[in-house]
């Protein structure tokens, strides 16, 4: 990736000395622009409002009452019971699988990216530049082009339909390495490393004691978006897994959606699919609101718009 | 151990003396650096390079009825170039790239500029609101919109029926691509907006305060100062959009479940590769399609980068 993109990403990272409160000289707020923007905002809210309202409706009310208002009965509780008990409570298992795949994948990705990014930023070693440009080039490799051959290789190794088949590919994050390099070169002063060396600390001790502490915000950022990328991934688990007890929530919901559409709601109720979607979104939105700072500053990964 | 410390101290002291003593200390640092990058590159090699090479390798073979698997050179690629289904998929993706991406990025830029201008009330809440769809998995987003478009209990159809008009079929063959474009826009406007917005916040205020005092309007400031200043961020969003558009899979795959007649097996190249591999079990041809897709994306991303760089040189 070019230098221009490099500076762009650098701007996305949480910086310590960012421009503070810019206050206008006088109130410049515009009523027209405010109205226009909030009208646009409704568009982004509309499907979510519909989802919340619909998950309080029984399957019959879904069909007989207006979509953007509540039904005759408030059936959220019944729907939740349906979600968690249908197919022997497999929904909870899907949530657990998702947490496992996303958690393990993100820990792995963050650890690998932190080590590599630190080395690229703070060591001038033979071959380092070439290795880094190889990593940058890999950002553009579409992950979906890899899922099919990876599946074939995994099936030869006998690890398809196992957690590893989803976790291992999720641990590679070239963009994470790139972000960590950018972050490390700003966050860790060279003099600090030199001082540690003078004190007789070994390279790993220096990294452990000095580097990790200063890199913490960057690590959280890389961890978070690896987590979200794996959490949201549909293609990879769809390819890798074939028993429904192994599914993450995305593949499970898609399967329920297909079953309800095929059976006209006979096997699985539409209300169950909708409430299931609602339940699966809640932890993401809550974590999003809590960890906004990291999301906003680090979210440039996108490559995995899975 | 002492020699290491001495070498390091001298490295900090004067440079020409450090050059002479590139000995144990430096070597130890190089070793440490390699140990730091090795874990990543082992996984990188195993999960990225090997599958990529394997995909290229597989694409050179074909399963024949007589004789089983045999080497066929570039036959699969030749087949792809003459495959109308593949091209139909590619042209759909090109349409997304030509229509949806400019709309999405235009909206994102407009929102980012509006929020940065400080002229919108409740801008912090609004920023969150526009960005929230990014927290929704693509599968759930498609699922929701699929039901919203639907004839049975979709509020859009309900609305049309209430005012006495026939409800438009948003999941028909001719309309479904537009419906997909809307889903992708909904999902990614906020994401692109945040990239641009963060870049806008990083522009030093002095750059445009003078212009504002001189009486330049907001549009003029945005066009002549702000947009040029955040060109790298815009470039990043363009590249990500190219990569994302070519990989479209979730939306057609899930909408296929509720509108099987509107979405065929080759609706997008990626969906085609998946169906070839897992429904038709034609692994070799699927690999060729996936490989072609990968190459196309990489070339396009480079073209985007080069074209903007050239413009910068000319200035």
pLDDT bracket for residue B136 (50, 70, 90): very high
Partner-chain residue, chosen from B130, B188, B236, that has the shortest CB–CB distance to A8 = B236
Does residue A73 register a pLDDT over 60?
yes
Report the C-alpha gap between B224 and B211 in whole angstroms.
10
What are the CB-based long-range contacts (under 8 Å, 24+) for A130-134? Answer: A131/B37, A131/B41, A132/A181
Q: Are B11 and B108 in the same domain?
A: no
Which residue from B minimizes the CA distance to A229?
B137
∠ Cα B118 B104 A292 (to 5°) = 55
Q: B10, B139, B167: best mutation site toward chain A, by most A Cβ within 10 Å?
A: B139
- The CA–CA distances, whole Å, from B154 to A49, A66, B117, B149, B182 equal 13, 9, 37, 6, 16
Does residue A300 register a pLDDT over 60?
no
Which residue from B minimizes the CA distance to A277?
B140
Which residue from A minimizes the CA distance to B246?
A142
Q: Are B114 and A37 inside 8 Å of each other by CB? A: yes
pLDDT bracket for residue B313 (50, 70, 90): low
Q: Are B144 and B230 in the same domain?
A: yes
Q: Are B194 and B83 in the same domain?
A: yes
The number of angstroms, rounded, from the C-alpha of A272 to the middle of its chain's C-alpha atoms is 25
Q: Are B94 and B46 in the same domain?
A: no
In A54-121, DSSP assigns E strands to none
| ipTM of model | 0.84
Q: Are A204 and B278 inside 8 Å of each other by CB? A: no
Does residue B139 register a pLDDT over 70?
yes
Q: How many independent structural domains does chain B possess? A: 2
- The CA–CA distances, whole Å, from A186 to A11, A16, A124, A126, B198 equal 12, 10, 16, 22, 18
Report the C-alpha gap between B182 and B175 in whole angstroms.
11
Report the C-alpha gap between A13 and A295 in whole angstroms.
10
Domain ranges for chain A: 92-303
Does residue B48 register a pLDDT over 80?
yes
Tell me, what's the pLDDT at A20? Answer: 42
Partner-chain residue, chosen from B144, B235, B283, that has the shortest CB–CB distance to A4 = B235
Per-residue pLDDT tens digits for B185-196: 999 999 899 889
Q: Are B176 and B239 in the same domain?
A: yes
Q: Are B172 and B310 in the same domain?
A: yes
Higher pLDDT pick, B61 / B24:
B61
pLDDT bracket for residue B63 (50, 70, 90): confident
* SS3 of residue A153 by DSSP: helix
Does residue A297 register a pLDDT over 90?
no
The CATH class, in words, for A92-303 is: mainly alpha
Q: Are A235 and B249 inside 8 Å of each other by CB? A: yes
Residue found by looking up tokens 């290789």 in the block? A153
Q: Are A115 and B36 inside 8 Å of each other by CB? A: yes
Q: Are A261 and B258 inside 8 Å of each other by CB? A: yes
pLDDT bracket for residue A207 (50, 70, 90): very high
Residue range A140-165: mean pLDDT, rounded: 89
Domain of residue B289, residue span:
76-314
Q: Which residues of A touch B236 (CB under 8 A)?
A: 5, 8-9, 300
Q: Is residue B70 part of a domain?
A: no
Q: Is residue B64 part of a domain?
A: no
Which residue from B minimizes the CA distance to A33?
B120
Q: Are B200 and B281 in the same domain?
A: yes
Per-residue pLDDT tens digits for B256-290: 998 999 999 999 999 999 999 999 889 999 999 98
Q: Is residue B69 part of a domain?
A: no
Q: Are B17 and B109 in the same domain?
A: no
Per-residue pLDDT tens digits for B12-38: 444 444 455 567 778 888 999 999 999
Does residue A292 register a pLDDT over 80?
no
Q: Is residue B305 part of a domain?
A: yes
Q: Which residues of A touch B131 (CB under 8 A)?
A: 295-296
A165: closest CA of chain B, how far (Å) = 10
Q: Are B243 and A302 inside 8 Å of each other by CB? A: yes
Q: Are A204 and B32 inside 8 Å of each other by CB? A: yes
Does residue B222 register a pLDDT over 60?
yes
Tell me, what's the pLDDT at B199? Answer: 84
Tell me, what's the pLDDT at A172? Answer: 93
Higher pLDDT pick, A267 / A284:
A284
Tell me, what's the pLDDT at A16? Answer: 39
Q: Which of B248, B43, B242 is nearest to A174 (CA)?
A: B43
Q: Are B202 and A19 inside 8 Å of each other by CB? A: yes
pLDDT bracket for residue A264 (50, 70, 90): confident
Average pLDDT over all residues of chain B: 86
Does residue A23 register a pLDDT over 50?
no
CB–CB of B160/B166 below 8 Å?
Answer: yes
Does residue B211 register a pLDDT over 90?
no
CB–CB of B199/B232 below 8 Å?
Answer: yes
Partner-chain residue, chosen from A171, A194, A203, that has the shortest CB–CB distance to B43 = A171
pLDDT bracket for residue B216 (50, 70, 90): confident
Please provide the distance, in angstroms rounded to a whole number, between the alpha carbons at the two ends of chain A: 21
DSSP annotation string for chain B: -HHHHHHHHHHHH-HHHHHHT-SHHHHHHHHHHHHHHHHHHHHHIIIIIHHHHHHHHHTTEEEETTTEEEE-TTHHHHHHHT-HHHHHHHHHHHHIIIIIHHHHHHHHHHHHHHHHTT-STTHHHHHHHHHGGGGS-HHHHHHHHHHHH-TTT-HHHHHHHHTT-PPP-TTSTTTHHHHHHHHHHHHHHHHHHHHHHHHHHTS-THHHHHHHHTT--HHHHIIIIIHHHTHHHHHHHHHHHHHHHHT--HHHHHHHHH-TTTS-TTSSHHHHHHHHHHTS--HHHHHHHHHHHHHHHHHHHHHHHHHHHHHHHH-
Does residue A33 register a pLDDT over 50?
yes
Does residue A211 register a pLDDT over 90?
no
Q: Are B202 and A11 inside 8 Å of each other by CB? A: yes
Does residue A53 register a pLDDT over 70?
yes
Helix H, strand E, coil C: the string for B108-160 is HHHHHHHHHCCCCCCHHHHHHHHHHHHHCCHHHHHHHHHHHHCCCCCHHHHHH
Token reading at A95: 């949530």
Contacts of B105 (CB under 8 A, 6+ apart): B192, B234, B237, B238, B241
Q: Which residues of B touch A9 (CB under 8 A)?
A: 236
Residue range B223-230: mean pLDDT, rounded: 88
Q: Are A261 and B158 inside 8 Å of each other by CB? A: no
Residue range A274-283: mean pLDDT, rounded: 93
CATH number at residue B138: 1.10.3720.10
Q: Are B24 and B84 in the same domain?
A: no
Q: Are A148 and B277 inside 8 Å of each other by CB? A: yes
pLDDT bracket for residue A27 (50, 70, 90): low
DSSP conformation class of A264: T
Q: Are B206 and B100 in the same domain?
A: yes
Highest mean pLDDT, choosing among A112-121, A186-195, A278-287, B120-129? A112-121
Does residue B296 register a pLDDT over 90?
no
Q: Is residue B260 part of a domain?
A: yes
Highest mean pLDDT, choosing among A1-15, A98-112, A169-183, B58-72? A98-112
Does residue A296 register a pLDDT over 70?
no
Q: Is residue B239 part of a domain?
A: yes
Higher pLDDT pick, B14 / A296:
A296
Report the C-alpha gap between B167 and B182 in whole angstroms.
18
Does residue A274 register a pLDDT over 90?
yes
Chain A, residues 75-104, CB within 8 A of chain B, namely none
Report the C-alpha gap between B108 and B129 in whole angstroms.
13
Does residue B6 register a pLDDT over 50?
no
Q: Are B221 and B269 in the same domain?
A: yes
Residue range B223-237: mean pLDDT, rounded: 88
Q: Are B33 and B108 in the same domain?
A: no
Contacts of B84 (CB under 8 A, 6+ apart): none
């Amino acid at each position: 990736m070019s230098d221009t993109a490099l500076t762009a990403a650098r701007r996305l990272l949480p910086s310590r000395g960012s421009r503070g409160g810019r206050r206008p000289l006088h109130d410049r707020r515009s009523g027209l622009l405010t109205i226009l923007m909030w009208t646009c905002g409704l568009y982004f809210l509309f499907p979510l409002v519909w989802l919340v309202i619909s998950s309080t409706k029984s399957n019959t009310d879904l069909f007989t009452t207006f979509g953007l208002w509540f039904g005759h009965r408030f059936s959220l509780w019944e729907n939740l019971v349906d979600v968690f008990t249908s197919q022997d409570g497999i929904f909870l298992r899907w949530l657990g699988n998702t947490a496992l795949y996303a958690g393990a994948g993100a820990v792995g990705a963050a650890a690998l990216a932190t080590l590599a990014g630190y080395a690229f930023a703070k060591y001038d070693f033979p071959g380092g530049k070439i290795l880094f440009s190889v990593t940058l080039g890999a950002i553009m490799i579409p992950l979906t082009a890899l899922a099919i051959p990876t599946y074939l290789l995994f099936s030869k190794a006998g690890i398809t339909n196992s957690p590893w088949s989803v976790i291992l590919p999720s641990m590679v994050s070239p963009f994470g390495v790139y972000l960590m390099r950018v972050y490390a070169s700003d966050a860790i002063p060279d003099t600090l490393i030199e001082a540690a060396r003078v004190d007789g600390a070994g390279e790993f001790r220096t990294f452990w004691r000095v580097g990790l502490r200063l890199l913490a915000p960057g690590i959280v950022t890389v961890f978070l978006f690896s987590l979200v990328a794996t959490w949201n991934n549909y293609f990879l688990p769809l390819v890798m897994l074939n028993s429904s007890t192994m599914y993450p929530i995305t593949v499970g919901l898609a399967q329920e959606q297909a079953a309800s559409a095929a059976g006209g709601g006979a096997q699985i109720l539409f209300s169950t699919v909708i409430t299931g979607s609602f339940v699966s979104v809640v932890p993401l939105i809550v974590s999003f609101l809590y960890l906004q700072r990291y999301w906003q500053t680090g979210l440039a990964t996108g490559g995995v718009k899975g | 151990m002492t020699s290491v410390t001495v070498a390091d101290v001298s490295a900090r002291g004067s440079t020409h003396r450090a050059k002479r003593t590139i000995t144990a200390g430096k070597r130890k640092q190089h070793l440490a650096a390699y140990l730091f990058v090795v874990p990543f590159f082992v996984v990188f090699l195993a999960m990225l390079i090997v599958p990529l090479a394997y995909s290229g390798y597989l694409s050179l073979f074909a399963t024949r009825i007589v004789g089983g698997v045999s080497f066929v050179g570039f036959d699969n690629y030749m087949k792809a170039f003459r495959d109308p289904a593949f091209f139909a998929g590619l042209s759909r993706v090109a349409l997304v790239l030509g229509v949806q991406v400019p709309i999405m990025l235009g909206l994102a830029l407009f929102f980012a500029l509006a929020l940065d201008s400080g002229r919108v009330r409740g801008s912090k809440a609004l920023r969150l609101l526009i960005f929230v769809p990014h927290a929704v998995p693509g599968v759930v987003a498609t699922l929701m919109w699929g039901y919203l478009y639907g004839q049975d209990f979709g509020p859009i159809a309900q609305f049309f029926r209430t005012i006495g008009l026939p409800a438009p079929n948003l999941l028909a063959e001719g309309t479904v691509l537009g419906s997909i474009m809307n889903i992708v826009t909904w999902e990614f406007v906020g994401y692109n907006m945040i990239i641009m917005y963060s870049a806008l916040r990083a522009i030093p205020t002095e750059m445009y305060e003078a212009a504002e005092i001189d009486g330049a309007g907001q549009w003029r400031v945005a066009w002549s100062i702000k947009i040029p200043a955040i060109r790298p961020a815009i470039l990043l969003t363009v590249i990500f959009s190219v990569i994302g558009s070519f990989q479209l899979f979730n939306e057609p795959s899930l909408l296929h479940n509720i509108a099987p007649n509107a979405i065929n097996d080759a609706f997008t190249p990626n969906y085609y590769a998946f169906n070839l591999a897992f429904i038709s079990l034609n692994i070799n041809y699927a690999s060729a399609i996936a490989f072609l897709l990968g190459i196309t994306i990489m070339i396009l991303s480079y073209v985007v980068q080069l074209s903007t760089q050239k413009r910068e040189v000319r200035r």
